[in-house]
């Protein structure tokens, strides 16, 4: 089982809809925003992966205008770097590890593609409400627990899988009225168990080429209700340089079918430069800390860990109401529990519009 961590980071010149706000009560806008994503199906950019990049200045709760904002994002990460603790490990060496009388599972790859729609609504300068809807395409292969690291052994649980499905809905609310300048904000939210956690893979064992269960941590949804709490602070160093710090804690409060994802903490620090009209360079440092998964259907050994990333990127203003962005996240430090696949990099691209 592997940790997963797609990313996003973008800044936009937002559109102020004062006339719209006077005509629509705050609760009506919120209900519409939330309902449009809930009925579409489900959301959370990384239902079982642990996003480690702050969404953007608006995403951590900071807003300078009201109205709706829509973000459409694509994230790609290819987990093909096998690691044990802080070090890379060969598949052959991993196959020789024995824990609790069982050989270590040797995973081959996990390729993830995330397509995420996020709708924000700000009824006034103090509040931001948002809903996320992800569509996840994931390909995974494992040699199972009876391999030599090169070929699968008999009856070792080897399989391949491809899932293409909507994920878990996530709804967040942010309040930034604690200070007159709105620099400090607090966030709270909930992740709903709308994504499937019963998808099947196909066994690659020649003796039993039947459908098999996919590991719970690789399913489109976790099957849990999670609570998310956090805080962020946004300010300027100079008129052209701006910074952000943020922390978010996520924990499952209700689980089903013998699985509970490990509690996770994301801590982010970001810097952006806004003096250039055509391009706005941005940089983040991201810390992801996750406990092991638990439950009878969980991988309680090879899940969780501590990961530190640097994430450079650019924002490209298109109009007064829209922008495009492109970012890459690369690891600075990785310390995983057990043996896991990690990505060498993660790439994100998208557009953001205000209306």
User: Given pLDDT bands bounded at 50, 70 and 90, which one contains residue 160?
Assistant: very high
CATH class of 18-354: mainly beta
Q: Is the pLDDT of residue 312 over 80?
A: yes
User: Given pLDDT bands bounded at 50, 70 and 90, which one contains residue 38?
Assistant: very low
SS3 39: helix
User: Given pLDDT bands bounded at 50, 70 and 90, which one contains residue 55?
Assistant: low
Q: Is the pLDDT of residue 343 over 70?
A: yes
Tens of pLDDT, residues 177-194: 898 787 999 999 999 999
What confidence score (pLDDT) does residue 179 get? 86
What confidence score (pLDDT) does residue 53 get? 63
Listed in sequence order, the residues at least 6 apart from 199 whose beta carbon sits closer than 8 Å to its beta carbon are: 161, 163, 165, 214, 219, 220
Contact 152, 158 (CB under 8 A): yes
d(CA 14, CA 69): 8
Q: Is the pLDDT of residue 326 over 60?
A: yes
What confidence score (pLDDT) does residue 240 get? 95
What is the chain's mean pLDDT, rounded? Answer: 83
- Give, rounded to a whole angstrom, the gap between the first and last alpha carbons of the chain: 41
Contact 338, 298 (CB under 8 A): no
User: Given pLDDT bands bounded at 50, 70 and 90, which one contains residue 138?
Assistant: very high
Highest mean pLDDT of the ranges 30-44, 144-158, 278-292: 278-292
As given in the structure block, the two tokens for residue 316 are 């490209």
Contacts 24+ apart (CB under 8 A), 234-237: 234/57, 234/60, 234/61, 234/62, 234/183, 234/185, 235/183
By residue count, the chain amounts to 355
d(CA 290, CA 3): 9
Domain ranges within the chain, ordered by starting residue? 18-354
**Of residues 114, 31, 107, the one with CA closest to residue 68:** 31
What confidence score (pLDDT) does residue 181 get? 82
Contact 349, 326 (CB under 8 A): yes
d(CA 320, CA 63): 15
d(CA 131, CA 148): 45
């Amino acid at each position: 089982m592997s940790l997963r961590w797609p990313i996003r980071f973008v800044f936009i010149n937002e559109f102020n809809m004062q006339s719209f706000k006077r005509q629509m009560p705050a609760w009506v806008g919120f209900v519409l925003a939330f309902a449009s994503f809930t009925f579409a199906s489900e959301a959370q950019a990384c239902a079982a992966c642990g996003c480690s990049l702050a969404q953007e200045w608006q995403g951590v709760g900071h807003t300078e205008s009201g109205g709706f904002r829509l973000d459409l994002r694509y994230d790609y990460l290819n987990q093909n770097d096998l690691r044990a603790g802080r070090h890379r490990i060969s598949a052959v060496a991993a196959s020789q590890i024995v824990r609790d009388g069982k050989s270590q599972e040797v995973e081959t790859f996990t390729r993830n593609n995330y397509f995420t729609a996020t709708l924000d609504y700000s009824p006034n300068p103090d509040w931001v409400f948002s809903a996320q809807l992800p569509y996840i395409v994931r390909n995974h292969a494992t040699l199972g627990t009876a391999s030599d690291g090169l070929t699968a052994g008999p009856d070792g649980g080897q399989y391949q899988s491809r899932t293409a499905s909507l994920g878990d809905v996530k709804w967040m609310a942010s309040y930034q009225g604690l200070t007159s300048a709105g620099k400090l904000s607090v966030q709270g939210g909930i992740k709903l168990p709308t994504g499937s956690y019963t998808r099947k893979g196909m066994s690659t064992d020649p003796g039993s080429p039947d459908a098999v269960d996919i590991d719970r941590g690789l399913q489109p949804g976790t099957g849990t209700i999670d609570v998310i709490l956090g805080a962020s602070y946004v300010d300027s160093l100079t008129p052209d340089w701006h910074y952000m710090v943020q922390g978010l804690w996520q924990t499952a409060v209700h689980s089903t079918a013998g699985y509970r994802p490990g509690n996770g903490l994301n801590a982010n620090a970001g810097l952006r430069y806004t003096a250039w009209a055509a391009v706005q360079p941005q940089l983040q440092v991201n810390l992801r800390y996750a406990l092991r998964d638990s439950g009878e259907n969980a991988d309680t050994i090879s899940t969780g860990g501590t990961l530190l990333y640097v994430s450079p990127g650019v924002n490209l203003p298109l109009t007064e109401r829209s922008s495009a962005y492109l970012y890459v996240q690369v690891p600075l430090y990785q310390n995983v529990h057990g043996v896991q696949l990690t990505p060498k990099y993660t790439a994100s691209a998208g557009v953001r519009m205000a209306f």
